[in-house]
Amino acid sequence: MRIVLATSNKGKINEFKKLLPTDEVVAFSELLGEMEIIEDADTFKGNAIIKAKTIYDKLNDENAIVISDDSGISVPELNNEPGIYSARYAGQGASDKDNLQKLIDELNKKDIKETAAYYTACIAIVYKGEVYTVHGWMHGSVINKEVGENGFGYDPMFIPTGFDKTFGELSHEIKKEFSHRGKALKLAKKVLEVIV
């Protein structure tokens, strides 16, 4: 199956390619070039739908299968920040490093060394003009430092429940099994089985 990904986030593209090894996974930019999509909804689901529909409409191909992922990390002790603002927590155009450092700074301001956190992913699928959405979550904690080089985004400060290492240190195989994205994608595959 050929799946067009409505994201330009390299970390997500890499994960989707590994999570869908038997499908042809193409980033939208390979077909349409880079473009900025304004994500102005106030939920993960709203933003996932905006991204998938924008790319589906631009492709102008009824049979295209477009998948988007809107995701982020929420910290209950920080009023669930950064949540849907995870990609721009340190400001518009901020890098993953800037955003991770901003979250460390916010924890340090409150003298927090470790606290509960969870990732959310909403995957939207658009096929034959219809929209389908599924969610996945992963719980754990965040620490006030960066450990390890693996993963992307906030992974080097996130420890999944049941482990004592961050996703900066844990392997992709472990992330694949437990991640918000992996769980949402399992459901998305079921939806694709039914609709395609």
Closest CA to 96 of 82, 107, 109: 82
71 scored as a contact of ligand IMP (CB under 6 A): yes
Q: Name the minimum Å distance from CB 63 to ligand IMP.
A: 26
Would strands 81-82 and 114-127 be described as parallel, antiparallel, or unpaired?
Answer: unpaired
The only residue of 70, 75, 125, 134 in contact with ligand IMP, by rule CB under 6 A: 70
Residue 49's region, left for phi above 0, alpha for psi from -120 to 50, else beta, is: alpha
Q: Which residues have CB under 8 Å from 71's CB, separation 6+? A: 12, 44, 86, 119, 120, 121, 122, 180, 181
Q: Which stretch binds ligand IMP (CB under 6 A): 27-35, 129-137, 147-155, 185-193?
A: 147-155
The only residue of 56, 119, 132, 178 in contact with ligand IMP, by rule CB under 6 A: 119
* Residue with smaller CB distance to ligand IMP, 96 or 194: 96
Which residue number is nearest to ligand IMP in terms of Cβ?
153
163 scored as a contact of ligand IMP (CB under 6 A): no
Q: Is 57 annotated as catalytic?
A: no
- CA dist., res. 148 & res. 156, Å (int): 6
* Residue with smaller CB distance to ligand IMP, 64 or 82: 82
The only residue of 136, 140, 151, 168 in contact with ligand IMP, by rule CB under 6 A: 151
SS3 158: strand
Closest CA to 116 of 163, 87, 67, 78: 78
* Residue with smaller CB distance to ligand IMP, 30 or 61: 30
Note whether 55 and 61 are within 8 A (CB). Answer: no
**Which residues of the shown chain bind ligand IMP in the complex (CB under 6 A)?**
9, 39, 70-73, 86-87, 96, 99, 119, 151-155, 179, 181
Question: Which residue numbers are catalytic?
Answer: 70
